[in-house]
Amino acid sequence: MRLVLAALLAFATVLGAARAEVPVPPLKARVTDLTGTLSAQQQAELEAGIAAYEARRGSQIAVLLLPTTKPEEIEQYSIRVAEAWKIGRKGVDDGLILIVAKDDRRLRIEVGYGLEGRIPDSVARRVIDERITPRFREGDFYGGVRDGVQQLIQLAEGENLPPPQAQTLNDARHFFGTNPLVAFILAMFVGLVLKAIFGRLPGSLLNAVGVGAIALLLFGIGIAIVAAVLVFIFTYANTDSSGGGGGGHSTGGGSWSGGSSSSSSSSYSGGGGGSFGGGGASGRW
């Protein structure tokens, strides 16, 4: 037993020692340039192009330029990036990542599971050979990335994927799934308002039904029933209905829709939970 544990420990240390590698940068934008190659305007243009595609199709694309992936091969590094960033929608897995290791003169297109049909490895390789590396060889990194991304978008457009509104639903699911307390407070707040308008019992019932319906849409029947019952009990028992009715109602609704719309337009909300299996192609210039 002790021997086995020792062996496991040794195994873990070996794994740990092998991890003296380039860290994966945090995902803050669709285009991450750690090499200072792209100007702010070029970066913004790429961002805008990808954002428009994401809004239209719901799929996600990320671009990463970095100096080097050494000591790892670009394939090993890029799968770590893919696992950390989770580009693409959860379950649909329609993410694409373009990684350029500038000093290594290597690049890779990482293709999510959901897009492997439209963009098999040989096609990804063609995008690299025909669109990207010819420009990279001329030193035109912006042009190469732009053309490559455009071509990838065109290819991905052909894939039969679920429509993009699923994305907001996914966002909501993710948000309430990870912050149940926020959902609860929100429900209590709405409950106060409803009680003030419709009375104690009808207001509580209405709130429970509403919350149940949303939970049903997001999580399924089981959680919906539990949520509805809990919300009913708490709303009914919560007698502190001193808050001003109409004003509270409008701020509550306003903050909710405001929050969701601002997160989708201005700041980047990050990867949607897509997974990758090592599909795609690498190249050099």
Partner 1 sequence: MRKFLIALIATLSALSLSGCGYNDFQRLDEGVKAAWSEVLNNYQRRADLIPNLVATVQGAADFEKSTLTEITNARASVSAIKATPELINDPAAFARFQEVQSQMTGALSRLLAVAENYPQLTATKEFGELRVELAGAENRIAVARGRYIKTVQEYNVLARSFPTNLTAMVFGYQPKANFSVENEKAIAAPPKVEFGKPAAK
Select 120 or 164, whichever has its Cβ closest to partner 1.
120
Tell me the site size for partner 1, rule CB under 8 A: 26
Selected binder of partner 1 within 21, 129, 138, 140 (CB under 8 A): 129
Q: 24 phi and psi, to 5 degrees?
A: -80, 125
**Nearest distance in Å: CB 38, partner 1:** 24
Candidates 58-66, 121-129, 228-236, 245-253: pick the segment binding partner 1 (CB under 8 A).
121-129
Selected binder of partner 1 within 6, 11, 48, 247 (CB under 8 A): 11
According to CB under 8 A, which residues from 165 to 184 bind partner 1?
none
Q: State the pairing for strand pair 276-284/106-112.
A: antiparallel
Q: State the pairing for strand pair 95-101/60-66.
A: parallel
SS3 state at 273:
strand
CB 105 within 8 A of CB 144: no
Q: 22 phi and psi, to 5 degrees?
A: -65, 125
**Nearest distance in Å: CB 116, partner 1:** 9
Amino acid letter, residue 135? R
Q: How far apart are CA 61 and CA 38, in angstroms?
A: 17
Task: Decide if residue 242 touches partner 1 (CB under 8 A).
Answer: no
CB 59 within 8 A of CB 89: yes
Amino acid letter, residue 256? W
Nearest alpha-carbon partner for 111 in 280, 230, 249, 271:
280
Selected binder of partner 1 within 59, 60, 133, 167 (CB under 8 A): 133
Task: Decide if residue 121 touches partner 1 (CB under 8 A).
Answer: yes
**Nearest distance in Å: CB 22, partner 1:** 16
Task: Decide if residue 273 touches partner 1 (CB under 8 A).
Answer: no
**What character string, x for contact with partner 1 (CB under 8 A) and - otherwise, covers 91-120?**
-----------------------------x
Selected binder of partner 1 within 122, 165, 242, 266 (CB under 8 A): 122
Alpha-carbon torsion angle 77, 78, 80, 84, nearest 10: 140
According to CB under 8 A, which residues from 175 to 234 bind partner 1?
none
List the structure tokens of 246.
């109409």
**Nearest distance in Å: CB 122, partner 1:** 5
CB 211 within 8 A of CB 227: yes
Please give the DSSP secondary-structure letter assigned to residue 179: -
Select 79 or 208, whichever has its Cβ closest to partner 1.
79
CB 100 within 8 A of CB 162: no
List the structure tokens of 235.
């709303």
Please give the DSSP secondary-structure letter assigned to residue 114: G
> How many other β-carbons are positioned within 10 Å of the β-carbon of residue 85?
24
**What character string, x for contact with partner 1 (CB under 8 A) and - otherwise, covers 38-77?**
-------------------------------------xx-
**What character string, x for contact with partner 1 (CB under 8 A) and - otherwise, covers 71-90?**
----xx--x-----------
Task: Decide if residue 144 touches partner 1 (CB under 8 A).
Answer: no
**Nearest distance in Å: CB 4, partner 1:** 6
Residues lying near partner 1 in the complex (CB under 8 A) are found at 1, 4-5, 8, 11-12, 14, 75-76, 79, 120-122, 125, 129, 133, 276-285
